[in-house]
Amino acid sequence: MKKLVNLRYLDASHSGLQVMPRGIGELKKLHFLSDFVLYRVEGASIVELGGLQNLSSSLTIKNLQHVANGGEASMARLVDKQSIESLSLTWNDAGDIITSRDILDNLQPHVDLKCLHIYGYKATSFSNWLGCPLYCKMVQLILCDCFNCNLLPPLGQLPSLQILQIEGFEALMKISPEFYKRNDDTSLAPPFPSLEVLEIRNMPVMQEWGSSCPINAFPQLKDLSLKDCDRLCDNLPSHLPDLGTLRIYGCDQLASSIPRARSIYASGCKRMEFFGQHHFELTESIVISSSCETLSCLSLYNFPNLQHLIMSGCKNLKSVVYTKVVCQHLKHIKLIDCPNLESFPLEGLLAPNMTHLELEGCCNLKSLLDLRMNLPMLQHISLKGCPGIECVPGRSLPTNLMSLYIDHCAFSCICCSMERQSLSCLTTLSINGKYDDTIQVFPAECLLPSSLTILSISNYPSLETLDCRGFVSLKCLQELRIRQCPKLQRITGQKLPAFLTHLNIYQCTLFGELCHAKNWEIWSKVSHIPNISIDNNQVL
């Protein structure tokens, strides 16, 4: 008989794990046993669990590969231990397939169990008791790293099951109809009537799911997650009336329809298509990353209640189009690293409540930047890494604008707008000079908005001089950030604004050295600033 020598437990009268002496006499002294670990050496065995009545509400049995057979497992008498509400059964390392099934058959818990976790199970199928409707109080079930299982147990008729996680089934090729109900079950109740959270992860050979799903399954499902199902290409269940969040990660072959949800997250799903499919009238948030490679034209027509749209790494996206229907709920658009995006006609976007617009790394974007009043609530604009954007001089910026992140080429075009407009709400301005290697003096002939409290300039490869005259109007400026300007070495004019409280210098080698050395030409113009940091180190 394979034995137990070390038994760890959590006693209610102690504050942590203790080491249990050998012997059944000592075992009977336990008040609350919670963690039972089997070892392949002489000592007590799993049989001795049968004599324990005062178990805690949560019991973990580890190293079940050391149990000899089902007969030995049955003597643990788990079916009689009604104090257990949560049970965790774990196989580690290699184990015998037939013996594992025999052991699980005989570790059947009582029917009032609420949570069951099974890890590392070795057999190809599960015990008949798993999924039995008599387990009417079970609310959580986790099946993890059951590498040899090629068939899921019939879990659909567990009436109270709310959370189900299935992970690491390396032999499972499809989710079959038996998953929803037993063959002999004639009940008309919908499968998984109470399930709210379903997570399916790391199923490397699973190809089919949706075609076997009854239309009335999952009536309460709120959160569905699919991750690393590399070969899944079948339709997903389409009728999920209460689905709030859909997450799909690393499902390269999934190209079919996806269910409607209020929030959709997808990453690493290159073949996925859904923008041109059904009407997603309830969808409020979409976050897409490195997915939808066939998408070339993005239309918001099918998303009338969309509030947030974030897309990154959509390599073939070329244009964004709108209808004349007002996007009443749209608040935030963010497009990142879409190198083929050419058209984003803001003049056609009717979004009266949109507050954030971010376009980053869209190097071929060339459409006019027309910021007239179709977007009256726009407060935050970020246009980074978009050197091809054409701005029309003289066009008005939104009067409610609070922050603007922009490349220098576009900034130069709108300087005149800044001079003649009252931008009393603009407090943060960040300018990137990456694509302007001729700029040697900043600011040039431009009157910066007097409302600024934070000004950031970065990535100017040829910048040598800060001209204090360009900062004269900045009576509210509190923080000046200068980053990655390797040739910056002088300040002209009197001194930087008097009310500055923070000067942050990062990766500006020459300028940083002059500050550290308290060079008079530099130091006389910055010494009044209370907090000066160079490469994240405070200058005293």
| Range name among 308-317, 338-347, 367-376 with the lowest pLDDT average | 367-376
Report residue 295 as tokens. Answer: 């998408």
CA distances from 462 to 44, 322, 459 (A): 76, 40, 9
pLDDT tens digits, 133-167: 999 999 999 999 999 999 999 999 999 999 999 99
pLDDT tens digits, 465-492: 999 888 888 889 999 999 999 999 999 9
Out of 143-152, 363-372, 434-443, the most confident range is: 143-152
Per-residue pLDDT at 9: 33
Report residue 516 as tokens. Answer: 């550290």
Rg (CA), the chain: 32
Please state, rounded to an integer, the average pLDDT across all residues of the chain.
84
At residue 54, the 3 state secondary structure works out as: coil
Alpha-carbon distance 157 to 217, whole Å?
A: 10
Alpha-carbon distance 511 to 162, whole Å?
A: 60
pTM above threshold 0.75: yes
Q: What is the pLDDT averaged over residues 405-427?
A: 76
Residue 281 pLDDT more than 60?
yes
* DSSP calls for 263-303: EEEEES-TT---TTSS--TT--EEEEES--TT--EEE-TT-
Alpha-carbon distance 287 to 302, whole Å?
A: 16
Per-residue pLDDT at 134: 94
Task: Look at phi and psi of residue 202 and say left if phi exceeds 0, alpha if psi is from -120 to 50, else beta.
Answer: left
Per-residue pLDDT at 368: 58
Give residue limits of the domains in the chain: 304-426, 437-540
pLDDT tens digits, 177-225: 999 987 777 677 899 999 999 999 999 999 999 888 999 999 999 999 9
Report residue 478 as tokens. Answer: 């509190």
Alpha-carbon distance 263 to 247, whole Å?
A: 8
Burial of 411 (0-12, 13-18, 19+ CB in 10 A): buried
Q: Which residue has the tokens 């008729």?
A: 157
Per-residue pLDDT at 507: 95
Which of the four pLDDT bands, split at 50, 70 and 90, describes residue 322?
confident
- Listed as own residue / partner, the contacts of 315-323 with beta carbons closer than 8 Å and 24 or more positions apart are 315/339, 315/340, 316/340, 317/292, 317/341, 318/342, 318/343, 319/343, 319/344, 320/344, 320/345, 321/297, 321/348, 322/348, 322/349, 322/350, 323/299
